[in-house]
């Protein structure tokens, strides 16, 4: 649709469809969600190991175009339950595909198909092979079930569109921002549930029996409310035990295999006061770390991480 033809009613229709189903292509009529993922069958007479058979099957689906760039693959546990294959075998197969560039794997997210061979063949002018025969019963295809999008997510989408339309007005592509007249759903305020002090005490008691560092980490998380990355980025120079102050200004992240100490998620630093009990616990924890390092002839540095196995 041309930019100047977008009006408030168009955005209202979009919001209404998203409130009904998060799939924009859904029209409200029943249809089958076809799975393009191939059936994983292991042939015991095949000399190739099981993980290689699975990797080759998925790689062939990528080559013929059954799986295209950007397709999100099922999780390992979903594949194991659906195809009856061991989790370890699937993990090794996906790892081999990632090393070959067929898929992209990121921790905490599902694998995604990278640049496919079929796309490369299309760009080079060669003919694309026909996709393999599809069997809904074996592929696990199922009826579509509408899942409404949360009002807060719809408002976030509207915010992005509004910013884009505002830029178009600024560049004189359109005369007014159509998002200003759109009607948005009301987002209910979040009511996060916090663990009770009794539950926290049980978790801390269990942590002290296994690892003192984990216990101190959980204690700081419970009294400061700091994010996981912020606590992992803490260095001893950031803690003033004499004044009882913790300076949180960094966050620890892992990007593309690289470990980085960057600014916080909100790009702001803050100083938090800690009570004498916490100071005593940190002193005791630090003394234990120093005693371990003395046995190796190493001195604890102020730039060393509070929670670290190496420095």
The CATH number of residue 93's host domain is 1.10.10.10
Q: CA 163, CA 279: separation in Å to the nearest integer? A: 46
Structure token pair of residue 15: 């919001």
If asked whether residues 54 and 127 sit together in one domain, one would say yes
DSSP assignment of 214-258 equals HHHHHHHHHHH---HHHHHT-BGGGEETTTTEEEE-EEEEEETTE
Q: CA 12, CA 10: separation in Å to the nearest integer? A: 5
Give me the domain span that covers residue 216: 197-294
If asked whether residues 124 and 208 sit together in one domain, one would say no
Cβ-count burial of 59 within 10 angstroms (0-12 exposed, 13-18 middle, 19+ buried)?
buried
Q: Is residue 90 part of a domain?
A: yes
Sign for the pseudo-dihedral over CA of 259, 265, 270, 271: negative
Minimum mean pLDDT range among 25-29, 54-58, 117-121, 234-238: 117-121
Task: Supply the CATH number for residue 245's domain.
Answer: 1.10.443.10
If asked whether residues 68 and 137 sit together in one domain, one would say yes
If asked whether residues 139 and 203 sit together in one domain, one would say no
Q: Structural domain tally of the chain?
A: 2
- Mean pLDDT, rounded, for 34-42: 76
If asked whether residues 126 and 228 sit together in one domain, one would say no
If asked whether residues 131 and 233 sit together in one domain, one would say no
pLDDT in tens, 142-152: 777 888 999 99
Q: What is the pLDDT of residue 252?
A: 93
Of the candidates 4, 125, 117, the one whose C-alpha atom is nearest the C-alpha of residue 62 is 117
Q: What is the pLDDT of residue 124?
A: 39
Q: Is residue 183 part of a domain?
A: no
Q: What is the pLDDT of residue 41?
A: 82
Contact in structure between 32 and 145 (CB atoms under 8 Å): no
If asked whether residues 36 and 139 sit together in one domain, one would say yes
Q: Is residue 42 part of a domain?
A: yes
Q: CA 213, CA 286: separation in Å to the nearest integer? A: 10
pLDDT in tens, 182-195: 888 887 777 777 88
- Per-residue confidence at 203, pLDDT binned at 50, 70, 90? very high
Q: What is the pLDDT of residue 219?
A: 93
Q: CA 266, CA 263: separation in Å to the nearest integer? A: 8
Q: What is the pLDDT of residue 281?
A: 92
If asked whether residues 132 and 211 sit together in one domain, one would say no
pLDDT in tens, 116-138: 544 444 443 444 444 455 666 65
If asked whether residues 50 and 136 sit together in one domain, one would say yes
If asked whether residues 134 and 36 sit together in one domain, one would say yes
Structure token pair of residue 297: 């002839």
The contacts of residue 110 (CB under 8 Å, 6+ apart) are: 72, 73, 74, 75
Q: What is the pLDDT of residue 135?
A: 62
Q: CA 45, CA 43: separation in Å to the nearest integer? A: 5
Q: Is residue 180 part of a domain?
A: no
Q: Is residue 169 part of a domain?
A: no
Q: CA 10, CA 164: separation in Å to the nearest integer? A: 16
pLDDT of residue 56 exceeding 80: yes
């Amino acid at each position: 649709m041309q930019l100047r033809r977008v009006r408030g009613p168009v955005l209202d229709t979009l919001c209404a469809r998203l409130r009904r189903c998060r799939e924009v292509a859904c029209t409200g009529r029943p249809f089958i969600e076809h799975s393009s993922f191939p059936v994983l069958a292991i042939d015991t007479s095949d000399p190739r190991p099981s993980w290689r058979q699975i990797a080759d099957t998925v790689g062939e689906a990528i080559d013929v175009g059954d799986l295209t760039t950007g397709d999100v693959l099922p999780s390992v546990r979903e594949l194991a339950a659906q195809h009856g294959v061991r989790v370890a075998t699937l993990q090794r197969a996906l790892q081999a595909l990632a090393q070959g560039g067929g898929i992209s794997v990121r921790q905490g997210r599902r694998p995604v198909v990278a640049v496919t061979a079929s796309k490369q063949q299309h760009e080079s002018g060669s003919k694309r092979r026909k996709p393999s025969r599809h069997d809904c019963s074996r592929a696990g295809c199922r009826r579509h079930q509408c899942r409404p999008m949360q009002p807060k997510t719809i408002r976030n989408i509207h915010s992005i569109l509004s910013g884009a339309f505002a830029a178009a007005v600024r560049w004189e592509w359109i005369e007014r921002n159509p998002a200003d007249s759109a009607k948005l759903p009301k987002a209910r305020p979040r009511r996060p549930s916090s663990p009770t002090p009794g539950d926290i005490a049980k978790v801390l008691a269990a942590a002290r029996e296994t690892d003192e560092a984990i216990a101190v980490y959980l204690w700081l998380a419970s009294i400061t409310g700091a994010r996981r990355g912020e606590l992992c980025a803490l260095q001893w120079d950031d803690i003033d035990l004499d004044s009882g102050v913790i300076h949180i200004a960094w966050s620890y992240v892992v990007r593309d295999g690289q470990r980085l100490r960057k600014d916080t998620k909100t790009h702001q630093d803050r100083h938090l006061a800690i009570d004498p009990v916490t100071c005593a616990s940190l002193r005791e924890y630090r003394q234990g770390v120093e005693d371990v390092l003395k046995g190796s002839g190493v001195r604890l540095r102020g730039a060393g991480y509070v929670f670290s196995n190496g420095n």
